[in-house]
A = this chain, B = another copy of it.
Amino acid sequence: MKRLAILGSTGSIGQSTLSIVESYPERYSVATLAAGRNIEAAFEQVERWRPRMISLATGELASQLARRLREKGITGVEVIWGTAGSVACATHPEADFVVSAIVGVAGLEATHAAILAGKPIGLANKECMVAAGEILTRDARLRNVPLLPIDSEHNAIHQCLRVGERNEVKQIWLTASGGPFRQLPLEDFAKITPEQALKHPTWVMGQRITIDSATMLNKGLEVIEACRLFDLPPSQVRVTVHPQSTVHSLVEYVDGSILAQISVTDMRLPILYALAYPERPASSLTFDLATLSRLDFEPPDFARFPCLRLAYEAAEAGGAHSIALNAADEVAVEAFLRRGIPFSGIPRTIEEVLEETPAHHPETIAGVLEADSQARERAREVISAAAMRV
């Protein structure tokens, strides 16, 4: 029985993880939950799963939840809050495995604490790896802690890497849906509205990741994540546009063999893989190969998607530049969604921030968070200055 700490339990990955626990009660149970601000969902999860501990975003939310639990007569659940709360959930002595799915760098300290505590990690938070991948992989290696990717692309790569040795890998290929603007004429990019950008062709996701998918910055973050997770230089991490999103990624070996992983588009599959690794339990998430009709692949258009180029540059520079890429993008996407900047302002903002970012490799999580704040600040300045110019 693996007892799970689920960081980000009320988000989409957290809910899918709980659905796996529901399907495999003989394999998994819930030790701790780190939720966010959705107190209703948090209450229901405590009622259903009776964890040892739950953490919420703030002390006020924690008090509210504790009160509701008392009213319902639910006892034995420690209710805590904030970053210290997530860290306590991640390092709880009864947790055997940590699912890291808090969106953004908010999950960083808890994920790092879990690694330092020697807990195996199922990693669904790509920002963690982008901002602090150098630190997290270093500390995981030192402690021999497995980092199992839950992102479908990286999960596919993890599977395909089992068919050879690391020095036999020529390059890996991350597949990209190409987003809604794959075929939009280049001159129409300036006029893209938030409403258009929020329509994703294949996956239903949060707002930021949907916009990141439209700019392909999301794929760029995945390139950096892959570099860190699999210890590969950016030149060995390639992107191929595959609109059907059926092949989740591929590994090309030096002898010429390419291994690809195909499955349904359902996050429960990579979650189950990460939780059960190296085993593969049977699931109902099967892909009917008889229905497979056509798969397309094409090279990404770097002119249409400058964010992808910027991400490769940030991957190469590493450290503060990776951090700044992610931070500046988050700020720029928010500005785009509130119509503060046009769609093409997203890469422009990131590029300006990156240009102002000094070469620097933080050695600690505190250093990463500081570089992150500085980049956000710079991004806000860049956006204000642009607004002034208009």
**Contact B240–A255 (Cβ < 8 Å):** no
**Contact A253–B280 (Cβ < 8 Å):** yes
Nearest Cβ on chain B to A259's Cβ, whole angstroms: 6
Distance A292 CA – B272 CA, assembled complex (angstroms):
30
Determine if A168 is an interface residue (Cβ-Cβ < 8 Å): yes
User: Chain B residues with Cβ under 8 A from A70's Cβ?
Assistant: none
Determine if A273 is an interface residue (Cβ-Cβ < 8 Å): yes
Distance A162 CA – B254 CA, assembled complex (angstroms):
17
Determine if A385 is an interface residue (Cβ-Cβ < 8 Å): no
**Contact B255–A281 (Cβ < 8 Å):** yes
Q: How many copies does the complex hold?
A: 2
Nearest Cβ on chain B to A123's Cβ, whole angstroms: 18
Distance A163 CA – B257 CA, assembled complex (angstroms):
14
User: Chain B residues with Cβ under 8 A from A298's Cβ?
Assistant: 293
Q: Which of A32-40, A84-92, A182-190, A283-291 contacts B (4 or more CB under 8 A)?
A: A283-291
Given A163-B162, A262-B260, A295-B295, the answer on whether A272 and B290 have CB atoms closer than 8 Å is no
Determine if A113 is an interface residue (Cβ-Cβ < 8 Å): no
Q: Which of A257, A260, A297 has the most CB of B within 10 A?
A: A257
Distance A240 CA – B257 CA, assembled complex (angstroms):
20
Nearest Cβ on chain B to A220's Cβ, whole angstroms: 18
Report the nearest B residue to A285, measured CB to CB: B256
Distance A300 CA – B211 CA, assembled complex (angstroms):
41
Q: Mark A324-359, 1 if CB is under 8 A from B, else 0.
A: 000000000000000000000000000000000000
**Contact A280–B162 (Cβ < 8 Å):** no
User: Chain B residues with Cβ under 8 A from A281's Cβ?
Assistant: 254-255
**Contact B296–A269 (Cβ < 8 Å):** no
User: Chain B residues with Cβ under 8 A from A286's Cβ?
Assistant: 170, 252, 256
Which of B253, B261, B262, B297 is the one whose CB lies under 8 Å from A292?
B297
User: Chain B residues with Cβ under 8 A from A290's Cβ?
Assistant: 240, 299
Determine if A159 is an interface residue (Cβ-Cβ < 8 Å): yes
Q: Mark A258-280, 1 if CB is under 8 A from B, else 0.
A: 11111110000100110010011
With an 8 Å Cβ cutoff, the count of chain A residues facing the other chain is 49
**Contact B289–A173 (Cβ < 8 Å):** yes
**Contact A255–B280 (Cβ < 8 Å):** yes
Given A160-B163, A292-B297, A299-B290, the answer on whether A257 and B261 have CB atoms closer than 8 Å is yes
Q: Which of A160, A165, A285 has the most CB of B within 10 A?
A: A160
User: Chain B residues with Cβ under 8 A from A140's Cβ?
Assistant: none
Determine if A390 is an interface residue (Cβ-Cβ < 8 Å): no
User: Chain B residues with Cβ under 8 A from A238's Cβ?
Assistant: 289
Distance A247 CA – B247 CA, assembled complex (angstroms):
12
User: Chain B residues with Cβ under 8 A from A256's Cβ?
Assistant: 263-264, 269, 283-287
Which of B160, B165, B252, B273 is the one whose CB lies under 8 Å from A255?
B273
Distance A293 CA – B295 CA, assembled complex (angstroms):
8
**Contact A254–B283 (Cβ < 8 Å):** yes
Task: State the A residues within 8 Å of B (CB).
Answer: 159-160, 162-165, 168, 170, 173, 238, 240, 247, 250, 252-264, 269, 272-273, 276, 279-287, 289-290, 292-299
